[in-house]
Amino acid sequence: MSSPYASLVLVNNAGLNWTPDDVPSFDVTTTPHEQHPSLVGLVALVFEAVLEVICVSLPGYIVARRGLFKPEHQKFVANLNMWLFTPCLIFSKLAKQLNPNQLGDLAVIPVIFVIQTCVSYGVAICVSKLFRFEKRATNFVTAMSVFGNSNSLPISLVISLSQTLKGLSWDRIQGDHSGLVSSRGILYLLIFQQLGQMVRWSWGFHVLLAKKDQYEEYRDECAEEGRYRDDDNSGEVLIPGLDGNEESSDDELYNPAGRTPVAGTSGASSAGSDDDEFGTPKKRSTMSGYGGDGDNGPLAIPSDDLNDIMSFPRMRDLDEPEAAKGVRGFLAQTNLALRSAFARTTEKSRRFCLFTYSKLPQRLRLLLEKSLNFLSEFMNPPLWAMLLSIVVASVPQLQQLFFEKGSFIKNSVTDAVTQSGSVAVPLILVVLGANLANNTKDSDAHDPEEAKIGSRLLIASLISRMLLPTLIMTPILALIAKHIPVSILDDPIFIVVCFLLTGAPSALQLAQICQINEVYEGVMSKILFQSYVVWILPSTLALVMLALETLEWAGV
């Protein structure tokens, strides 16, 4: 009989030789779906992951509904998270896990991001034409389709799935476990997130979700709304005498008392007077003291002498301490001298830098200005943390310094950063719940156009974001995972991340942009509620199932 042991000769403990025929047969074949859970088990695992997200974000929803977590507080917490806790999370996860060999493989992420963006854009255009939307509505559907959530919800799902699903370990990493799996998943998501942020706040803010007056067909309507707006409290009178605004005569105008006249001066300074705001004559560069330009006469007192006459020694305030004497006085004078020297050195350095910069060629100066402007606009704390992580991971000595077990830096600085980073994800979810609470309070449409096409916009946005891109991207991702020889495409958690992003709900920041530019705010609120409350469980279940089937088919 044929068996996998046909060419073996087994020796038992007694030293007896067994032939292959004496070896019992074993059925070593496995069913195709044996390596991942059944449908019922998968539903339970995904429900656990989604329920964990709901349990963390629910307190934020409740507190916001009670009015204790106001929008300005949410904005402060979100900014605090972006400036402090998220960079700590990035550094603690990436700097420890990255190595120079992986940095080149990460270049496939921008390629997949561009493919996903193009697919979502094409889907949105086709759906908008099917619903016969105008340009403004088409741009709104495009924004809902192109900009998915790559921050709060996917990060939480990746962390939960890495702890509940089996088979996500990477065979290229020895001793891979759920902690390493979630760390790599967060790395992939953060790169996708930063790419999305760059496009969202440029193309999305200024084009797709632009204000209504940016469209030619709405400019006349916006002008009429601006003319008859109730909250227009400007005091400007367009035509004197219109609507009861009569011109006031000169004798009816209130003329406040001016400065007390001084001999030789008029009660009110003319427009060309050289007196300062306190009535003291300013120093003139051509002052001669006798009949020069601007003098009041041959007996006028030069400005330098007048300043000497009118100057008085400074009087010490009652609560001001007397000048210190002895050792304290010496220390105070030394401190003052050091501060003055530091200020002079700083000023000289600034002037030297400006002088050197002015001597550079004009093209080089323009290049430097554009580079600095790009860094100031594009770079943010998470990106700086990612850049620092890459630097630390690229230098083995630095990576060992920060993460060697028992070292001083690891026990102090690295542990503090790791502890701060652990706050990031729960804080993101609390703000997510609060945002949902605010966006479901007042969802009535105040725009007649929104009231007319609001339901169609909602359906088109959900189809363009959570259904059609997933159907189109599934075979593309499967072919990429099977045939592209890039190492991270063999990482199971990377495939799961790609699928979660294809059908993720619309980004929460789109609600903020819609509020700023007053773009279909009521529809935006309904989209968030439908995406994050109604469809999140079946959508996540379908995406995880597709990811597992792709992993099996591609042999990952």
In a domain, 245, yes or no: no
Rounded to an integer, the average pLDDT of 165-186 is 85
Residue range 351-401, pLDDT digits in tens: 888 888 788 888 888 888 888 877 776 677 877 888 898 889 888 888 888
Rounded to an integer, the average pLDDT of 274-290 is 45
Residue 361 has which token pair?
Answer: 């060629």
What pLDDT is recorded for position 326? 66
- Sign of the dihedral defined by the CA atoms of residues 455, 461, 462, 464, in that order: positive
Work out the mean pLDDT of the chain and round it to a whole number: 75
In a domain, 349, yes or no: no
Residues found in the chain: 556
What DSSP element (H or E) covers 11? strand 10-11
Q: What are phi and psi of 266, to 5 degrees?
A: -90, 165
Identify the weakest region by mean pLDDT among 74-88, 237-251, 506-520. Answer: 237-251
Residue range 455-511, pLDDT digits in tens: 999 999 999 999 999 999 999 999 999 998 888 898 999 999 999 999 999 987 788
What are the CB-based long-range contacts (under 8 Å, 24+) for 137-140? Answer: 137/453, 137/457, 137/520, 139/207, 139/208, 139/209, 139/210, 140/208, 140/209, 140/457, 140/461, 140/519, 140/520, 140/523
The pLDDT of residue 242 is above 50: no
Most confident stretch, 126-135, 237-246, 300-309: 126-135
Per-residue pLDDT band at 138 (split at 50, 70, 90)? very high
When divided into structural domains, the chain yields a total of: 1
Rounded to an integer, the average pLDDT of 213-233 is 63
Q: What is the CATH number of the domain that holds 448?
A: 1.20.1530
User: What amino acid is encoded at 62 in this protein?
Assistant: I
In a domain, 272, yes or no: no
What pLDDT is recorded for position 328? 74
In a domain, 292, yes or no: no
In a domain, 302, yes or no: no
Structural domain that includes position 520? 43-213+379-554
Q: Which residues contact 283 (CB under 8 A, 6 or more apart)?
A: 303, 304, 307
What pLDDT is recorded for position 386? 81
In a domain, 259, yes or no: no
Per-residue pLDDT band at 302 (split at 50, 70, 90)? low
What pLDDT is recorded for position 225? 56
In a domain, 299, yes or no: no
In a domain, 167, yes or no: yes
